[in-house]
Chains A and B, each alone.
Chain A
Amino acid sequence: MRAGERATSADDTLVRAGRALRLVLLTALALLFLVPFYLLVRNGLASEQDITSPEWTFLPTEVRWSNVAELFRDGSVPFARSLLNSALIAVATTLGTVLLASLAGYGLARIPYRHADKVFHGVLGTLMVPAAVTFVPSFVLVSSLGWISTLRGLVVPTLFSAFACFVFRQYFLGFPRELEDAAAVDGLGYWRTYWLVVVPNARPVFAAVGAIVLIGAWNSFLWPLVIGQDRSAWTVQVALSSFTTSQVVRLHELFVAAAVSILPLLVLFLGFQRWIAAGVERSGID
Protein backbone atom coordinates (compact mmCIF):
# COMPACT_ATOMS: atom_id res chain seq x y z
CA MET A 1 0.00 0.00 0.00
CA ARG A 2 2.63 2.44 1.14
CA ALA A 3 4.92 1.47 -1.69
CA GLY A 4 2.13 2.15 -4.16
CA GLU A 5 1.52 5.58 -2.66
CA ARG A 6 5.14 6.44 -2.84
CA ALA A 7 5.22 5.43 -6.51
CA THR A 8 2.24 7.69 -7.20
CA SER A 9 3.82 10.69 -5.55
CA ALA A 10 7.06 10.01 -7.41
CA ASP A 11 5.04 9.85 -10.62
CA ASP A 12 3.39 13.13 -9.68
CA THR A 13 6.74 14.84 -9.26
CA LEU A 14 7.83 13.38 -12.55
CA VAL A 15 4.68 14.63 -14.28
CA ARG A 16 5.09 18.07 -12.78
CA ALA A 17 8.74 18.22 -13.79
CA GLY A 18 7.77 17.09 -17.28
CA ARG A 19 5.17 19.82 -17.45
CA ALA A 20 7.65 22.51 -16.44
CA LEU A 21 10.24 21.20 -18.88
CA ARG A 22 7.65 21.22 -21.65
CA LEU A 23 6.75 24.83 -20.94
CA VAL A 24 10.39 25.92 -20.92
CA LEU A 25 11.09 24.07 -24.15
CA LEU A 26 7.98 25.47 -25.83
CA THR A 27 8.83 29.01 -24.78
CA ALA A 28 12.38 28.66 -26.09
CA LEU A 29 11.14 27.29 -29.41
CA ALA A 30 8.47 30.00 -29.67
CA LEU A 31 11.13 32.69 -29.21
CA LEU A 32 13.30 31.01 -31.83
CA PHE A 33 10.36 30.90 -34.25
CA LEU A 34 9.75 34.62 -33.75
CA VAL A 35 13.37 35.62 -34.53
CA PRO A 36 12.80 36.01 -38.31
CA PHE A 37 9.79 38.29 -37.70
CA TYR A 38 11.86 40.27 -35.25
CA LEU A 39 14.64 40.68 -37.83
CA LEU A 40 12.11 41.84 -40.41
CA VAL A 41 10.79 44.59 -38.16
CA ARG A 42 14.17 45.55 -36.69
CA ASN A 43 15.83 45.94 -40.06
CA GLY A 44 12.77 47.40 -41.76
CA LEU A 45 12.65 50.30 -39.35
CA ALA A 46 16.40 50.87 -39.10
CA SER A 47 18.79 53.00 -41.06
CA GLU A 48 21.32 51.42 -43.39
CA GLN A 49 24.08 52.23 -40.89
CA ASP A 50 22.24 50.49 -38.06
CA ILE A 51 21.77 47.32 -40.10
CA THR A 52 25.36 47.07 -41.24
CA SER A 53 26.87 48.14 -37.94
CA PRO A 54 29.34 45.55 -36.62
CA GLU A 55 27.94 46.13 -33.12
CA TRP A 56 24.58 44.34 -32.88
CA THR A 57 21.82 46.48 -31.42
CA PHE A 58 18.60 44.74 -30.50
CA LEU A 59 16.55 47.71 -31.59
CA PRO A 60 17.51 50.34 -34.14
CA THR A 61 19.11 53.39 -32.55
CA GLU A 62 16.42 55.43 -34.25
CA VAL A 63 13.07 53.98 -35.40
CA ARG A 64 12.56 55.19 -38.94
CA TRP A 65 8.96 54.97 -40.11
CA SER A 66 10.10 57.11 -43.03
CA ASN A 67 11.50 53.92 -44.58
CA VAL A 68 7.94 53.08 -45.67
CA ALA A 69 7.49 56.38 -47.49
CA GLU A 70 10.95 56.06 -49.00
CA LEU A 71 10.09 52.64 -50.36
CA PHE A 72 7.04 53.92 -52.20
CA ARG A 73 8.92 56.98 -53.50
CA ASP A 74 11.75 54.88 -54.93
CA GLY A 75 11.14 54.85 -58.67
CA SER A 76 13.68 52.13 -59.45
CA VAL A 77 11.38 49.33 -58.27
CA PRO A 78 7.66 49.26 -59.12
CA PHE A 79 6.69 48.21 -55.61
CA ALA A 80 3.26 49.87 -55.35
CA ARG A 81 2.31 48.46 -58.72
CA SER A 82 3.45 44.99 -57.69
CA LEU A 83 1.34 45.17 -54.53
CA LEU A 84 -1.67 46.11 -56.62
CA ASN A 85 -0.98 43.26 -59.05
CA SER A 86 -0.66 40.78 -56.22
CA ALA A 87 -3.90 41.97 -54.64
CA LEU A 88 -5.80 41.71 -57.93
CA ILE A 89 -4.34 38.28 -58.67
CA ALA A 90 -4.95 36.94 -55.17
CA VAL A 91 -8.57 38.11 -55.07
CA ALA A 92 -9.37 36.97 -58.61
CA THR A 93 -7.68 33.60 -58.08
CA THR A 94 -9.46 32.99 -54.79
CA LEU A 95 -12.93 33.94 -56.04
CA GLY A 96 -12.49 32.06 -59.30
CA THR A 97 -11.03 28.93 -57.74
CA VAL A 98 -13.67 28.72 -55.03
CA LEU A 99 -16.52 29.33 -57.47
CA LEU A 100 -15.37 26.77 -60.06
CA ALA A 101 -14.26 24.12 -57.57
CA SER A 102 -17.35 24.38 -55.36
CA LEU A 103 -19.74 24.08 -58.30
CA ALA A 104 -17.83 21.09 -59.62
CA GLY A 105 -17.59 19.55 -56.18
CA TYR A 106 -21.34 19.89 -55.70
CA GLY A 107 -22.12 18.47 -59.11
CA LEU A 108 -19.84 15.49 -58.49
CA ALA A 109 -21.27 14.87 -55.04
CA ARG A 110 -24.96 15.38 -55.67
CA ILE A 111 -26.09 15.28 -59.31
CA PRO A 112 -26.56 11.72 -60.57
CA TYR A 113 -24.80 11.17 -63.90
CA ARG A 114 -23.68 7.96 -65.52
CA HIS A 115 -20.07 8.96 -66.04
CA ALA A 116 -19.63 11.00 -62.87
CA ASP A 117 -17.08 8.50 -61.54
CA LYS A 118 -14.94 8.76 -64.64
CA VAL A 119 -14.98 12.54 -64.46
CA PHE A 120 -14.02 12.38 -60.79
CA HIS A 121 -11.11 10.06 -61.50
CA GLY A 122 -9.96 12.43 -64.23
CA VAL A 123 -9.88 15.19 -61.61
CA LEU A 124 -8.08 13.04 -59.05
CA GLY A 125 -5.50 12.01 -61.62
CA THR A 126 -4.21 15.58 -61.89
CA LEU A 127 -3.46 15.56 -58.16
CA MET A 128 -0.75 13.02 -58.90
CA VAL A 129 0.92 15.38 -61.39
CA PRO A 130 3.40 17.60 -59.59
CA ALA A 131 3.84 21.22 -60.65
CA ALA A 132 7.43 20.34 -61.53
CA VAL A 133 6.10 18.43 -64.47
CA THR A 134 3.55 20.91 -65.75
CA PHE A 135 5.26 24.26 -65.35
CA VAL A 136 7.34 24.00 -68.51
CA PRO A 137 4.49 22.85 -70.77
CA SER A 138 2.07 25.28 -69.11
CA PHE A 139 4.48 28.06 -69.91
CA VAL A 140 4.53 26.81 -73.49
CA LEU A 141 0.75 26.85 -73.64
CA VAL A 142 0.37 30.28 -72.08
CA SER A 143 3.01 31.82 -74.30
CA SER A 144 1.38 30.41 -77.41
CA LEU A 145 -1.90 31.97 -76.24
CA GLY A 146 -0.04 35.29 -76.10
CA TRP A 147 -0.71 35.63 -72.39
CA ILE A 148 2.84 36.35 -71.19
CA SER A 149 2.97 39.34 -68.84
CA THR A 150 -0.79 39.62 -68.64
CA LEU A 151 -3.09 39.30 -65.66
CA ARG A 152 -4.99 36.64 -67.58
CA GLY A 153 -1.86 34.56 -67.95
CA LEU A 154 -1.13 34.89 -64.25
CA VAL A 155 -4.64 34.01 -63.08
CA VAL A 156 -6.55 31.80 -65.51
CA PRO A 157 -4.23 28.74 -65.61
CA THR A 158 -4.21 28.58 -61.80
CA LEU A 159 -8.00 28.62 -61.37
CA PHE A 160 -8.60 24.90 -61.76
CA SER A 161 -7.58 23.34 -58.48
CA ALA A 162 -8.22 19.61 -58.25
CA PHE A 163 -7.43 19.81 -54.55
CA ALA A 164 -10.15 22.43 -53.92
CA CYS A 165 -12.66 20.47 -55.99
CA PHE A 166 -11.87 17.33 -54.01
CA VAL A 167 -12.31 19.09 -50.66
CA PHE A 168 -15.67 20.53 -51.75
CA ARG A 169 -16.88 17.18 -53.05
CA GLN A 170 -16.01 15.42 -49.79
CA TYR A 171 -17.72 18.16 -47.82
CA PHE A 172 -20.91 18.09 -49.90
CA LEU A 173 -21.10 14.30 -49.65
CA GLY A 174 -21.53 14.78 -45.92
CA PHE A 175 -23.92 17.72 -46.27
CA PRO A 176 -27.36 16.99 -44.65
CA ARG A 177 -29.72 15.91 -47.43
CA GLU A 178 -32.80 17.09 -45.55
CA LEU A 179 -32.09 20.71 -46.45
CA GLU A 180 -31.95 19.93 -50.17
CA ASP A 181 -35.02 17.70 -49.96
CA ALA A 182 -36.97 20.55 -48.37
CA ALA A 183 -35.79 22.83 -51.18
CA ALA A 184 -36.96 20.28 -53.76
CA VAL A 185 -40.38 20.21 -52.10
CA ASP A 186 -40.47 23.98 -52.48
CA GLY A 187 -39.85 23.46 -56.20
CA LEU A 188 -36.26 24.69 -56.36
CA GLY A 189 -34.03 23.18 -59.05
CA TYR A 190 -30.33 22.32 -58.64
CA TRP A 191 -29.17 25.82 -59.40
CA ARG A 192 -31.33 27.69 -56.93
CA THR A 193 -30.99 24.98 -54.30
CA TYR A 194 -27.24 25.37 -54.55
CA TRP A 195 -27.20 29.13 -54.19
CA LEU A 196 -30.08 29.61 -51.76
CA VAL A 197 -29.74 26.56 -49.53
CA VAL A 198 -26.35 24.89 -49.85
CA VAL A 199 -23.93 27.83 -50.07
CA PRO A 200 -25.34 29.76 -47.08
CA ASN A 201 -25.05 26.61 -44.96
CA ALA A 202 -21.57 25.65 -46.08
CA ARG A 203 -19.67 28.80 -45.11
CA PRO A 204 -16.95 27.01 -43.08
CA VAL A 205 -15.69 25.02 -46.05
CA PHE A 206 -15.74 28.09 -48.29
CA ALA A 207 -13.75 30.02 -45.69
CA ALA A 208 -11.25 27.19 -45.24
CA VAL A 209 -10.59 26.63 -48.94
CA GLY A 210 -10.67 30.36 -49.69
CA ALA A 211 -8.08 31.13 -47.02
CA ILE A 212 -5.69 28.43 -48.25
CA VAL A 213 -6.05 29.51 -51.88
CA LEU A 214 -5.57 33.18 -50.98
CA ILE A 215 -2.35 32.51 -49.07
CA GLY A 216 -1.06 30.36 -51.90
CA ALA A 217 -1.89 32.98 -54.53
CA TRP A 218 -0.30 35.85 -52.61
CA ASN A 219 2.87 33.88 -51.86
CA SER A 220 3.25 32.05 -55.14
CA PHE A 221 6.53 32.73 -56.91
CA LEU A 222 7.55 30.37 -59.73
CA TRP A 223 4.52 30.95 -61.96
CA PRO A 224 4.57 34.77 -61.65
CA LEU A 225 8.33 34.69 -62.21
CA VAL A 226 7.90 32.76 -65.44
CA ILE A 227 4.77 34.51 -66.75
CA GLY A 228 5.05 38.04 -65.36
CA GLN A 229 8.17 38.97 -67.26
CA ASP A 230 7.55 42.70 -67.77
CA ARG A 231 7.97 44.94 -64.76
CA SER A 232 4.37 46.06 -65.15
CA ALA A 233 3.23 42.47 -64.48
CA TRP A 234 5.46 41.83 -61.45
CA THR A 235 3.81 40.50 -58.33
CA VAL A 236 5.07 41.52 -54.94
CA GLN A 237 7.07 38.28 -54.57
CA VAL A 238 8.78 38.80 -57.91
CA ALA A 239 9.57 42.41 -56.99
CA LEU A 240 11.07 41.30 -53.66
CA SER A 241 13.07 38.63 -55.40
CA SER A 242 14.46 41.13 -57.87
CA PHE A 243 15.64 43.16 -54.86
CA THR A 244 17.27 40.14 -53.23
CA THR A 245 19.07 38.93 -56.31
CA SER A 246 20.17 42.30 -57.66
CA GLN A 247 23.65 43.76 -57.50
CA VAL A 248 23.02 46.82 -55.42
CA VAL A 249 20.95 46.17 -52.34
CA ARG A 250 19.48 48.85 -50.14
CA LEU A 251 18.92 46.75 -47.05
CA HIS A 252 16.52 48.95 -45.11
CA GLU A 253 14.29 49.29 -48.16
CA LEU A 254 14.43 45.58 -48.81
CA PHE A 255 13.31 44.72 -45.29
CA VAL A 256 10.59 47.31 -45.10
CA ALA A 257 9.28 46.04 -48.45
CA ALA A 258 9.21 42.48 -47.15
CA ALA A 259 7.45 43.63 -43.99
CA VAL A 260 4.82 45.51 -46.00
CA SER A 261 4.31 42.50 -48.26
CA ILE A 262 3.66 40.15 -45.37
CA LEU A 263 1.42 42.51 -43.37
CA PRO A 264 -1.91 41.82 -45.14
CA LEU A 265 -1.41 38.08 -44.74
CA LEU A 266 -0.48 38.32 -41.07
CA VAL A 267 -3.65 40.30 -40.38
CA LEU A 268 -5.70 37.78 -42.34
CA PHE A 269 -3.91 34.94 -40.63
CA LEU A 270 -4.49 36.11 -37.10
CA GLY A 271 -8.11 36.96 -37.87
CA PHE A 272 -8.99 33.76 -39.66
CA GLN A 273 -6.63 31.30 -38.04
CA ARG A 274 -9.40 28.84 -37.24
CA TRP A 275 -10.49 28.62 -40.87
CA ILE A 276 -6.96 28.39 -42.13
CA ALA A 277 -6.16 25.58 -39.71
CA ALA A 278 -9.33 23.83 -40.85
CA GLY A 279 -8.18 24.21 -44.44
CA VAL A 280 -4.76 22.78 -43.60
CA GLU A 281 -6.34 19.80 -41.87
CA ARG A 282 -8.42 19.04 -44.94
CA SER A 283 -5.43 19.43 -47.24
CA GLY A 284 -3.34 16.95 -45.31
CA ILE A 285 -5.76 14.16 -44.62
CA ASP A 286 -7.33 14.01 -48.05
Chain B
Amino acid sequence: MTGAAGTVRRRTVWFWVFVGPFALGLALFTYVPLLWSLALSFFDARNTVTPTDFVGLDNYVHVLGDDAFTDSLWTFLVFTAFIVPATYVLSLALALMVNRVRWARAFFRSVFFLPVACSYVVAALIWKMSLFNGVRFGLANTVLGWFGADPVAWLSTTDPPWYWLVIVTLRLWLQAGFYMILFLAGLQRIDPVLYEAAAVDGARPGRQVLRHITLPQLRATSVAVVLLLVVNAFQAFDEFYNLLSDARGYPPYARPPLVYLYYTALGQGQNLGVGSAGAVVLALVVAVVTVGQARWFRLGAKEARA
Protein backbone atom coordinates (compact mmCIF):
# COMPACT_ATOMS: atom_id res chain seq x y z
CA MET B 1 0.00 0.00 0.00
CA THR B 2 2.72 2.44 0.96
CA GLY B 3 4.43 1.39 -2.29
CA ALA B 4 2.67 3.48 -4.94
CA ALA B 5 1.80 6.48 -2.76
CA GLY B 6 5.28 6.39 -1.23
CA THR B 7 6.88 6.39 -4.66
CA VAL B 8 4.83 9.40 -5.77
CA ARG B 9 5.73 11.29 -2.61
CA ARG B 10 9.38 10.36 -2.88
CA ARG B 11 9.43 11.55 -6.50
CA THR B 12 7.74 14.84 -5.59
CA VAL B 13 10.36 15.44 -2.92
CA TRP B 14 13.17 14.70 -5.35
CA PHE B 15 11.58 16.89 -8.02
CA TRP B 16 11.72 19.83 -5.66
CA VAL B 17 15.25 18.98 -4.52
CA PHE B 18 16.35 19.30 -8.15
CA VAL B 19 14.09 22.09 -9.36
CA GLY B 20 13.34 23.98 -6.13
CA PRO B 21 16.47 26.12 -5.73
CA PHE B 22 16.31 27.27 -9.34
CA ALA B 23 12.56 27.90 -9.33
CA LEU B 24 12.74 29.83 -6.07
CA GLY B 25 15.57 32.03 -7.33
CA LEU B 26 13.86 32.65 -10.63
CA ALA B 27 10.67 33.64 -8.86
CA LEU B 28 12.54 35.94 -6.49
CA PHE B 29 14.69 37.66 -9.10
CA THR B 30 12.27 37.80 -12.02
CA TYR B 31 8.66 37.61 -10.89
CA VAL B 32 9.04 39.64 -7.70
CA PRO B 33 10.82 42.55 -9.48
CA LEU B 34 8.19 42.48 -12.21
CA LEU B 35 5.31 42.77 -9.80
CA TRP B 36 7.15 45.30 -7.71
CA SER B 37 7.79 47.38 -10.79
CA LEU B 38 4.14 47.19 -11.74
CA ALA B 39 3.24 48.44 -8.26
CA LEU B 40 5.85 51.23 -8.32
CA SER B 41 4.51 52.50 -11.62
CA PHE B 42 1.32 53.63 -9.81
CA PHE B 43 3.16 55.49 -7.06
CA ASP B 44 5.19 58.63 -6.69
CA ALA B 45 8.49 56.85 -6.10
CA ARG B 46 11.25 59.41 -6.19
CA ASN B 47 14.38 58.18 -4.37
CA THR B 48 12.35 55.51 -2.60
CA VAL B 49 11.42 51.91 -3.27
CA THR B 50 8.64 51.78 -0.68
CA PRO B 51 6.45 54.70 -1.71
CA THR B 52 3.16 55.59 -0.05
CA ASP B 53 1.85 58.24 -2.41
CA PHE B 54 -0.53 56.55 -4.88
CA VAL B 55 -0.80 58.57 -8.08
CA GLY B 56 -2.82 56.27 -10.33
CA LEU B 57 -1.88 56.62 -13.98
CA ASP B 58 0.09 59.87 -13.58
CA ASN B 59 3.43 58.16 -14.22
CA TYR B 60 2.08 56.66 -17.43
CA VAL B 61 0.74 60.02 -18.56
CA HIS B 62 4.11 61.54 -17.77
CA VAL B 63 6.08 58.89 -19.67
CA LEU B 64 3.86 58.90 -22.73
CA GLY B 65 3.91 62.69 -22.84
CA ASP B 66 7.67 62.80 -22.43
CA ASP B 67 9.34 63.62 -25.74
CA ALA B 68 12.51 61.91 -24.57
CA PHE B 69 10.57 58.66 -24.18
CA THR B 70 8.91 58.77 -27.60
CA ASP B 71 12.27 59.80 -29.08
CA SER B 72 13.81 56.69 -27.56
CA LEU B 73 11.21 54.56 -29.32
CA TRP B 74 12.08 56.29 -32.60
CA THR B 75 15.76 55.67 -31.94
CA PHE B 76 14.98 52.00 -31.44
CA LEU B 77 13.00 51.90 -34.69
CA VAL B 78 15.77 53.57 -36.70
CA PHE B 79 18.39 51.34 -35.13
CA THR B 80 16.33 48.24 -35.89
CA ALA B 81 15.72 49.36 -39.46
CA PHE B 82 19.49 49.53 -39.98
CA ILE B 83 20.86 46.70 -37.92
CA VAL B 84 18.37 43.90 -38.57
CA PRO B 85 18.61 43.77 -42.38
CA ALA B 86 22.36 44.50 -42.32
CA THR B 87 23.13 41.69 -39.88
CA TYR B 88 20.75 39.30 -41.60
CA VAL B 89 22.31 39.80 -45.02
CA LEU B 90 25.92 39.82 -43.83
CA SER B 91 25.66 36.77 -41.55
CA LEU B 92 23.76 34.78 -44.18
CA ALA B 93 26.30 35.73 -46.84
CA LEU B 94 29.18 34.78 -44.54
CA ALA B 95 27.55 31.44 -43.73
CA LEU B 96 26.90 30.64 -47.40
CA MET B 97 30.47 31.49 -48.36
CA VAL B 98 32.14 29.80 -45.40
CA ASN B 99 29.99 26.72 -45.94
CA ARG B 100 31.18 26.34 -49.53
CA VAL B 101 34.76 27.51 -49.34
CA ARG B 102 37.18 24.61 -49.68
CA TRP B 103 40.27 26.29 -48.43
CA ALA B 104 40.95 27.48 -44.87
CA ARG B 105 37.32 27.09 -43.83
CA ALA B 106 38.17 26.75 -40.12
CA PHE B 107 40.25 29.92 -40.33
CA PHE B 108 37.47 31.99 -41.88
CA ARG B 109 34.91 30.63 -39.45
CA SER B 110 37.12 31.56 -36.50
CA VAL B 111 37.86 35.05 -37.77
CA PHE B 112 34.19 35.94 -38.25
CA PHE B 113 33.21 34.31 -34.97
CA LEU B 114 35.99 35.88 -32.91
CA PRO B 115 34.31 39.29 -32.32
CA VAL B 116 31.62 37.46 -30.34
CA ALA B 117 34.24 37.14 -27.58
CA CYS B 118 34.64 40.91 -27.50
CA SER B 119 32.54 42.96 -25.11
CA TYR B 120 30.51 45.92 -26.35
CA VAL B 121 32.56 48.08 -24.02
CA VAL B 122 35.86 47.10 -25.65
CA ALA B 123 34.37 47.41 -29.14
CA ALA B 124 32.99 50.85 -28.28
CA LEU B 125 36.40 51.87 -27.01
CA ILE B 126 38.06 50.83 -30.29
CA TRP B 127 35.35 52.46 -32.41
CA LYS B 128 35.26 55.70 -30.44
CA MET B 129 38.94 56.19 -29.69
CA SER B 130 40.59 54.81 -32.79
CA LEU B 131 38.46 53.66 -35.72
CA PHE B 132 35.99 56.55 -35.74
CA ASN B 133 37.89 59.03 -33.64
CA GLY B 134 36.72 62.47 -34.70
CA VAL B 135 40.23 63.91 -34.86
CA ARG B 136 42.69 63.48 -37.69
CA PHE B 137 44.51 60.42 -36.32
CA GLY B 138 41.40 58.19 -36.27
CA LEU B 139 41.63 55.39 -38.82
CA ALA B 140 38.50 56.37 -40.76
CA ASN B 141 39.65 59.97 -40.96
CA THR B 142 43.15 58.85 -41.94
CA VAL B 143 41.66 56.92 -44.84
CA LEU B 144 39.53 59.93 -45.78
CA GLY B 145 42.68 62.02 -45.62
CA TRP B 146 44.38 59.77 -48.21
CA PHE B 147 41.62 60.84 -50.59
CA GLY B 148 42.00 64.45 -49.61
CA ALA B 149 38.76 64.62 -47.61
CA ASP B 150 38.36 66.54 -44.39
CA PRO B 151 38.11 64.69 -41.09
CA VAL B 152 34.59 63.96 -39.87
CA ALA B 153 33.48 64.31 -36.24
CA TRP B 154 31.74 60.95 -36.42
CA LEU B 155 29.98 60.85 -33.08
CA SER B 156 29.09 64.49 -32.56
CA THR B 157 27.75 65.29 -36.02
CA THR B 158 23.97 65.20 -36.13
CA ASP B 159 23.56 66.59 -39.65
CA PRO B 160 24.09 64.23 -41.38
CA PRO B 161 23.79 61.77 -38.47
CA TRP B 162 27.12 60.02 -38.98
CA TYR B 163 26.87 58.51 -35.49
CA TRP B 164 24.55 55.85 -36.91
CA LEU B 165 27.39 54.56 -39.08
CA VAL B 166 29.53 54.14 -35.96
CA ILE B 167 26.80 52.49 -33.91
CA VAL B 168 25.59 50.14 -36.63
CA THR B 169 29.01 48.97 -37.84
CA LEU B 170 30.01 48.22 -34.26
CA ARG B 171 27.10 45.89 -33.57
CA LEU B 172 27.33 44.44 -37.06
CA TRP B 173 30.97 43.49 -36.49
CA LEU B 174 30.29 42.09 -33.04
CA GLN B 175 27.23 39.99 -33.75
CA ALA B 176 27.51 38.88 -37.40
CA GLY B 177 29.62 35.85 -36.45
CA PHE B 178 27.06 34.71 -33.90
CA TYR B 179 24.29 34.61 -36.49
CA MET B 180 26.65 33.14 -39.07
CA ILE B 181 27.04 30.14 -36.73
CA LEU B 182 23.24 29.81 -36.56
CA PHE B 183 22.95 29.91 -40.35
CA LEU B 184 25.82 27.43 -40.73
CA ALA B 185 24.00 25.03 -38.41
CA GLY B 186 20.85 25.53 -40.49
CA LEU B 187 22.75 24.87 -43.71
CA GLN B 188 24.19 21.65 -42.29
CA ARG B 189 20.67 20.40 -41.62
CA ILE B 190 19.56 20.74 -45.24
CA ASP B 191 19.26 17.30 -46.82
CA PRO B 192 21.89 16.95 -49.59
CA VAL B 193 19.34 14.93 -51.55
CA LEU B 194 17.49 18.19 -52.25
CA TYR B 195 20.54 19.64 -53.98
CA GLU B 196 21.06 16.46 -56.00
CA ALA B 197 17.42 16.53 -57.08
CA ALA B 198 17.76 20.18 -58.07
CA ALA B 199 20.84 19.40 -60.14
CA VAL B 200 19.02 16.54 -61.87
CA ASP B 201 16.14 18.89 -62.62
CA GLY B 202 18.60 21.24 -64.28
CA ALA B 203 18.62 24.01 -61.68
CA ARG B 204 21.67 26.19 -62.21
CA PRO B 205 24.03 26.26 -59.28
CA GLY B 206 24.03 29.64 -57.62
CA ARG B 207 21.04 31.93 -57.63
CA GLN B 208 18.37 29.39 -58.62
CA VAL B 209 19.41 26.84 -56.03
CA LEU B 210 19.74 29.55 -53.41
CA ARG B 211 16.27 30.89 -54.12
CA HIS B 212 14.40 27.62 -54.49
CA ILE B 213 16.21 25.28 -52.11
CA THR B 214 18.54 26.98 -49.64
CA LEU B 215 16.46 29.97 -48.55
CA PRO B 216 13.17 28.06 -48.12
CA GLN B 217 15.01 25.38 -46.16
CA LEU B 218 16.53 28.05 -43.90
CA ARG B 219 13.12 29.52 -43.09
CA ALA B 220 12.97 28.31 -39.47
CA THR B 221 16.50 29.59 -38.82
CA SER B 222 15.68 32.91 -40.48
CA VAL B 223 12.62 33.43 -38.31
CA ALA B 224 14.65 32.70 -35.16
CA VAL B 225 17.45 35.01 -36.31
CA VAL B 226 15.14 37.95 -37.03
CA LEU B 227 13.35 37.54 -33.71
CA LEU B 228 16.65 37.46 -31.83
CA LEU B 229 17.97 40.44 -33.77
CA VAL B 230 14.96 42.60 -32.97
CA VAL B 231 14.85 41.67 -29.28
CA ASN B 232 18.59 42.25 -28.96
CA ALA B 233 18.37 45.59 -30.75
CA PHE B 234 15.68 46.56 -28.28
CA GLN B 235 18.00 45.79 -25.37
CA ALA B 236 20.89 47.81 -26.78
CA PHE B 237 22.59 49.83 -24.09
CA ASP B 238 26.32 49.09 -23.78
CA GLU B 239 27.55 50.48 -27.09
CA PHE B 240 25.28 53.54 -27.05
CA TYR B 241 26.37 54.42 -23.54
CA ASN B 242 30.07 53.91 -24.15
CA LEU B 243 30.18 55.53 -27.57
CA LEU B 244 28.16 58.62 -26.81
CA SER B 245 28.41 59.54 -23.15
CA ASP B 246 31.42 61.40 -21.87
CA ALA B 247 32.44 63.43 -18.84
CA ARG B 248 29.70 65.96 -19.71
CA GLY B 249 26.99 63.31 -19.84
CA TYR B 250 24.92 61.85 -22.66
CA PRO B 251 24.00 63.94 -25.74
CA PRO B 252 20.30 64.61 -26.36
CA TYR B 253 20.20 62.42 -29.50
CA ALA B 254 20.53 58.65 -30.10
CA ARG B 255 19.03 57.57 -26.80
CA PRO B 256 17.54 54.09 -27.11
CA PRO B 257 14.89 52.95 -24.57
CA LEU B 258 17.32 51.38 -22.14
CA VAL B 259 19.46 54.51 -22.01
CA TYR B 260 16.32 56.54 -21.37
CA LEU B 261 15.32 54.22 -18.54
CA TYR B 262 18.80 54.23 -17.10
CA TYR B 263 18.91 58.00 -16.81
CA THR B 264 15.30 58.33 -15.68
CA ALA B 265 15.24 55.66 -13.00
CA LEU B 266 18.84 55.65 -11.84
CA GLY B 267 20.16 59.07 -12.80
CA GLN B 268 19.57 62.29 -10.93
CA GLY B 269 16.28 62.23 -9.10
CA GLN B 270 15.97 58.45 -9.24
CA ASN B 271 12.39 58.60 -10.40
CA LEU B 272 11.55 54.94 -9.99
CA GLY B 273 7.82 55.47 -10.49
CA VAL B 274 8.25 57.01 -13.94
CA GLY B 275 11.06 54.55 -14.71
CA SER B 276 8.83 51.63 -13.82
CA ALA B 277 5.97 52.99 -15.89
CA GLY B 278 8.40 53.31 -18.80
CA ALA B 279 9.53 49.72 -18.25
CA VAL B 280 5.94 48.49 -18.27
CA VAL B 281 5.18 50.37 -21.51
CA LEU B 282 8.34 48.93 -23.05
CA ALA B 283 7.36 45.43 -21.93
CA LEU B 284 4.06 45.88 -23.76
CA VAL B 285 5.86 47.18 -26.84
CA VAL B 286 8.16 44.15 -26.82
CA ALA B 287 5.22 41.81 -26.40
CA VAL B 288 3.33 43.42 -29.28
CA VAL B 289 6.41 43.40 -31.53
CA THR B 290 7.21 39.77 -30.71
CA VAL B 291 3.66 38.55 -31.18
CA GLY B 292 3.32 40.63 -34.33
CA GLN B 293 6.47 39.14 -35.76
CA ALA B 294 5.38 35.64 -34.84
CA ARG B 295 2.06 36.29 -36.61
CA TRP B 296 3.80 37.70 -39.62
CA PHE B 297 5.97 34.62 -39.95
CA ARG B 298 2.96 32.45 -39.09
CA LEU B 299 5.06 30.90 -36.40
CA GLY B 300 2.00 29.42 -34.73
CA ALA B 301 1.19 27.35 -37.78
CA LYS B 302 4.68 25.99 -38.03
CA GLU B 303 5.44 22.84 -36.10
CA ALA B 304 8.85 22.46 -37.70
CA ARG B 305 10.70 24.12 -34.86
CA ALA B 306 9.68 21.68 -32.15
Cβ–Cβ < 8 Å partners of A103 in chain B: 18-19, 21-22
A101 within 8 A of B: yes
Which residue among A11, A14, A191, A240 has the maximum number of chain B CB atoms within 10 Å of its CB?
A240
Give the CA-CA distance A261 to B283 in the complex, in Å: 34
User: What's the Cα separation between A132 and B234 when bound, in Å?
Assistant: 8
Q: How far is the CA of A255 from the CA of B137 in the complex (A)?
A: 15
Interface residues of A in 96-143 (CB under 8 A from B): 100-101, 103-104, 106-108, 111-114, 116, 119, 122-123, 126, 128-141, 143
- Given contacts A11-B205, A132-B279, A137-B37, A107 and B122 within 8 Å (CB-CB): no
Contact A281–B182 (Cβ < 8 Å): yes
Q: Chain A binding site: helix, strand, loop or mixed by DSSP?
A: helix
- Which of A116, A137, A269 has most chain B Cβ within 10 Å? A137
List of B residues within 8 angstroms of A54 by Cβ: 136-137
**Could you tell me the distance in whole angstroms from the C-beta of B184 to the nearest C-beta in chain A?**
8
Q: Decide yes or no: A39 and B131 within 8 Å by CB, A103-B21, A133-B34, A226-B266 being known contacts.
A: yes
Say yes or no: A119-B19 contact (C-beta < 8 A), given A26-B101, A237-B119, A270-B110: yes
Q: Interface size for chain A: under 10, 10 to 19, 20 to 34, or 35 or more residues?
A: 35 or more
Q: Is the CB of A26 within 8 A of B108?
A: yes
Q: Which of A148-176 contact B (CB under 8 A)?
A: 156-157, 159-160, 162, 165
B residues contacting A by CB (< 8 A) are 11-12, 14-19, 21-23, 25-34, 36-37, 40, 49-50, 94, 97-98, 100-103, 107-108, 110-131, 135-137, 139, 142, 173, 177-179, 181-182, 185, 204-206, 220-221, 224-225, 228, 231, 234-235, 237-238, 241-242, 245-247, 257-258, 261-262, 265-266, 272, 275-276, 279-280, 282-283, 286-287, 290, 305
25 A-B pairs with C-beta separation under 8 A: A18-B206, A26-B108, A36-B115, A36-B123, A104-B18, A104-B19, A112-B11, A130-B235, A130-B286, A132-B282, A132-B283, A134-B33, A134-B279, A141-B36, A160-B30, A190-B18, A221-B237, A221-B241, A237-B119, A241-B242, A245-B242, A266-B114, A266-B117, A273-B113, A285-B224
